[in-house]
Structure 1
Amino acid sequence: MLVKLIRNALGLVIVSADVVTRWSRIKRSPEAQQKVNEVASNLTLYHFFACPFCTKTRRVIYKLNAPVKKLSATQGSPHRDALINGGGKVQVPCLRIQHDDGQVEWMYESKAIISYLNERFAG
């Protein structure tokens, strides 16, 4: 119980610091932003609100101005079941990538996700 309370308090501090220190978003032409929106519509981030690795990943999504769908995978959530059924484990952050050919990829690890997002949206 005490550990959960401490974890939640630290998570609130991390999320608050994120909001206060958030970078500005990339600005694009309307046409370029529309292309980003189309690509991002095939992406879903499964996350926990107070997870530091999830916060790091959400910061990059914000900076890249990519409207990636975000779903909380907290205990009891139907999104948690989708994460287990699709990706095979409860580990966040997890990026669900729906490829054009219909294949679905489940990408774990914040560094891998951030690298993928930067390759897709930074340039």
Structure 2
Amino acid sequence: MNLTRQLKGKTLDLVDRFLPVKPIVRSADEQCVLDRESRRMHLYFCRSCPSSIAVKRYCERLGLRVVEKDVERVNAYRNELLNGGGEPRVPCLRIDGNECNDWLYNPDTILKYLQQRFSSQ
């Protein structure tokens, strides 16, 4: 990892820790449905990865309560990511479905999916 990316990651981590995201205001019923749906999503991330932090903050902005799994801190999450998705890359969004799980690895794909799925609600 190059120095610029490391510095950007550390800076965004500090911003993420000290500047909270203001979520979209929804009615209690809408938020309840959204909470139920978002609990079926798992975000594998790393605090030193700028893309991971951007995806995490976007989820917070949408008011999603996804299950967050920091692969740097817990090796079991890293193994879960490798065994389930096939690649140890972050950010990764796992969407639990009825029959199978979808693993989204590209940050642009993740943001596009979240925007299409949850912005219009």
TM-score (norm 1): 0.85
Aligned residue for 1:67? Answer: 65
Percent identity of paired positions between Structure 1 and Structure 2: 28
- Secondary structure at the aligned position of 2:43 is classed as strand
**2:55 is matched with which residue?**
57
Instruction: Tell me which of 33, 36, 39 is aligned to 1:38.
Output: 36
Change (3 A) 1:28 1:80: same
CA shift in 2, pair 1:31/1:116, >3 Å: same
Mapping 1:1-123, distance limit 5 Å? 10-19=8-17, 22-74=20-72, 77-99=75-97, 101-123=98-120
After TM superposition, the runs of 4+ consecutive aligned structure 1 residues lying more than 3 A away are: 3-10, 18-23
Structure 1: gaps of 5 or more residues: none
Number of aligned residue pairs: 120
Aligned-pair distance for 1:95? 0.4
When Rg is computed on C-alpha atoms for both structures, the one with the higher figure is 1
Distance in structure 2 (CA, Å) of the matches to 1:37 and 1:76: 24
Q: What is the deviation of 1:119?
A: 1.4
**TM-score with structure 2 setting the length:** 0.87
